[in-house]
Amino acid sequence: MSESPWWRGAVIYQIYPRSFMDSDGDGVGDLPGIIARLDHVASLGVDAIWVSPFFRSPMDDFGYDIADQCDVDPMFGTLADFDALLARAHALGLKVMIDQVFSHTSNAHDWFRESRESRDNPKADWYVWADANPDGTPPNNWLSIFGGPAWKWEPRRRQYYLHNFLSSQPDLNFHNPDVQQATLDYVRFWLDRGVDGFRLDSINFCFHDAQLRDNPPKPEALRIGRGFSPDNPYAFQYHWYNNTQPETIGFIERLRALMDGYADVAALGEISSEDSLATTAEYTSPGRLHMGYSFELLVDDFSAGYIRQTVQRLEAAMDGWPCWAISNHDVVRAVTRWGGGTAGAAFAIQMIALVCTLRGSVCLYQGEELGLAEADVPYEALRDPYGITFWPNFKGRDGCRTPMPWTGDADAGFSDGTPWLPIPDAHRAQNVAAQDADAGSVLAHARRFLQWRRTQPALRTGSIVFLESPEPVLAFVREQDGARVLVVFNLSASPVEWHLMQDAHPLDGHGLPMGGIRDGTLQLPAHGLYFAALDAAD
C-alpha cells in the first residue's frame, strides 16, 4: 500500500441508483444508466463513487432491506451489469465503493424465512428473538427509528423479533458467530469481484445488549438529532442498549483483517450513536475501520462555531481518518437545510468548497454539484414509509431522492417513462446540459475547484488548525510538508471583514470567486471565501 492510500483525502461521489439514470424506461434508475453517465462523474475530478444498494430486495426501504446480498435486483440489472460498471469506472480512474448492510436483512431473505419457522432449525438463532412478557407485551421498551416498538410478534415461533428500522427489516443476531462468518463471506464475494471498498450502513447497530435491558428515558430538552424530532418517540430514549455495544469492536477488527488481505481497499462506517463523534473515534482506531462517517454536519445547526467545535472535538479524540458529508439520501439537501433553499449559486459553491477543505475524506451526494435544493414532494407522490408515517411534520426522505436532471426536457433526460418520483421544475432548470454550457454555473465552479483541490496536498491529507474568528467567519490552516494553506469562509449572506494577523499570498487556479485584502483586512462578499498560501511557520 502506498504511503498515502487513495481513500485518504478522497472525494467520494454518492450515487443513489434509483434516481441517477434510467436506461430501460421503467422510471427507475439502474446500473446500465449509471454506466451511461459515468463520464459526468469522472469530469468532476472526484476519486471514487459510492453506489447505494442495488441488491435483490422487496424495496420496502428502497434497497436497504436486502433479500440476497450476493445478487443484483432485476430492477437494477444483473451481476454482469455490475461487472461492466466496475470495469468502466476503473477505466475512468474511479474507485468503486458499495453499500453493505450488516445489521439487518429483509424479512424476505431466505435466512429469516427459515429462522421464523421454529426455535430449533439451523438458523433459529440467526435473528434477535425474545419471549413475550407474561402479559404478552414486547420484552423491553426499545423503539424503532421509523416509529413505534422495535419488536414484532411472529406467530410461527410465538416470539417477538427485533427490528430497529421497518418491521420488514429484522435484526440479525451478531452474537452468533455463524452470522458474523456469513457476513464476512459475502463481503469477500464483492472483494473478489473487484470492488475498492464499502460504505457500511448503520455499522454500530450490529450488536444488541444480550440482556435486553430497557433504554432509559431522555429529558425532553435533549430530544434532538437527525430526523428525531419530538414527534418521533425514538427521541424519547437514550439508545444505550439497542445499538453501539462493545462487542462491535471485535467484529470490526475481524472485518479489517479480512480486508487487509486485499490491495488498497477501504471501509467507511456510517455511525449514528448517542455520541457519534466518540464512537467514530473508537471505530477508526488502528486495526479497525479506515474511515468514519457520522451525522454531525447533516443536522440543522449551521454556524462557524458549530462547525469548528465539531471538527475540533473529533480531531482531539481520533487517531483514525474522518469522512465528512453535508448531504446524502437520508437528509434534507444542504442548500435548503442550511441555506433556506433561496441562497443561490454562491452558497451552493461555498458549501462544496467547505466540506472539501476540512481534514478528511468527503462524500458528495449526486446533485450537489448542480446546487440542487430539496424537492417539495406532495403527499400523494410520497414513496418513503418514514415520511408517510410522520407526515406532515416530517416529510421523509423523498425530497432529497428525486431523479437527477440531465436535460431541461419534461423527464429531465432521466427516463423515457414516468420517473418514480416527480422532478421539480426548479431542478430541470438546473440540469447538467445547461450548466455544462455555462462557465459561471455551480457545476463549472465545482469542476474547477475539485480538479484544483487534487493538486493541493495540504487540502487532501494535511493537518488542520482552526483560527480564532468571530461569527460568521470560519478560518483554518491546512498544512502538509511545510506547505500551509489558509482557508476562510464567510458563512453569511452579508459582506464581512476580518483582520489577518500574518502575510498571505492568494492562491489562484481553483476557479472560485474570492474575497480580497485591503490594508491588512480581508474583505469577504456574501458567502465569500478565500484561499491563500502562508509563509512557513516559525
Q: Which architecture, in CATH terms, is 462-534? A: Sandwich (2.60)
CATH 3.20.20.80 fits 11-103+177-453, yes or no: yes
- The three cell numbers of residue 135 are 402479559
Alpha helices in 145-266 (DSSP H): 177-193, 247-259
Spatial neighbors of 444 by CB under 8 A, at least 6 apart, are 435, 436, 438, 511
Handedness of CA 103, 320, 476, 478 (dihedral sign): negative
Residue 69: CA atoms inside 13 Å, Cβ hemisphere, count? 19
Q: How confident is the prediction along the chain (538 residues), in pLDDT tens digits per residue?
A: 347 899 999 999 999 999 999 999 999 999 999 999 999 999 999 999 999 999 999 999 999 999 999 999 999 999 999 999 999 999 999 999 999 999 999 999 999 999 999 999 999 999 999 999 999 999 999 999 999 999 999 999 999 999 999 999 999 999 999 999 999 999 999 999 999 999 999 999 999 999 999 999 999 888 875 555 567 899 999 999 999 999 999 999 999 999 999 999 999 999 999 999 999 999 999 999 999 988 899 999 899 999 999 999 999 999 999 999 999 999 999 999 999 877 889 999 999 999 999 999 999 999 999 999 999 999 999 999 999 999 998 899 999 999 999 999 999 999 999 999 999 999 999 999 999 999 999 999 999 999 999 999 999 999 999 999 999 999 999 999 999 999 999 999 999 999 987 788 999 878 888 899 888 899 999 999 999 999 876 4
> Average model confidence (pLDDT) for the chain?
95
Q: What is the pTM of this model?
A: 0.97
Instruction: Give one DSSP letter per residue of 438-458, joined into a string.
Output: -TTSHHHHHHHHHHHHTT-HH
Phi and psi at residue 122, to the nearest 5°: -60, -25
How many CB atoms sit inside 10 A of residue 362's CB? 24
Q: Catalytic pick from 22, 61, 81, 270?
A: 270
Known active-site residue 270: yes
CA dist 494 and 340 (Å) reads 15
Distances in Å between the alpha carbon of 512 and those of 347, 454, 485, 537? 12, 15, 15, 26
Amino acid identity of residue 84, one-letter, is: A
What residues does 361 pair with on adjacent strands?
Answer: 323
In the chain, CATH 3.20.20.80 sits at 11-103+177-453
Say if residues 143 and 149 touch (Cβ distance below 8 Å). Answer: yes
Known active-site residue 201: yes
In the chain, CATH 2.60.40.1180 sits at 462-534
Say if residues 249 and 255 touch (Cβ distance below 8 Å). Answer: no
Phi and psi at residue 237, to the nearest 5°: -125, 155
pLDDT value of residue 2: 44
pLDDT value of residue 48: 98
CA dist 66 and 43 (Å) reads 32
Q: Catalytic pick from 81, 201, 282, 369?
A: 201
pLDDT value of residue 231: 78
b/e for 187-219, b at 16 or more Cβ within 10 A? Answer: beebbeeebbbbbbbbbbbbbbbeebeebeebe
Residues 229-274: tens digit of each pLDDT: 567 899 999 999 999 999 999 999 999 999 999 999 999 999 999 9
CA dist 415 and 25 (Å) reads 5
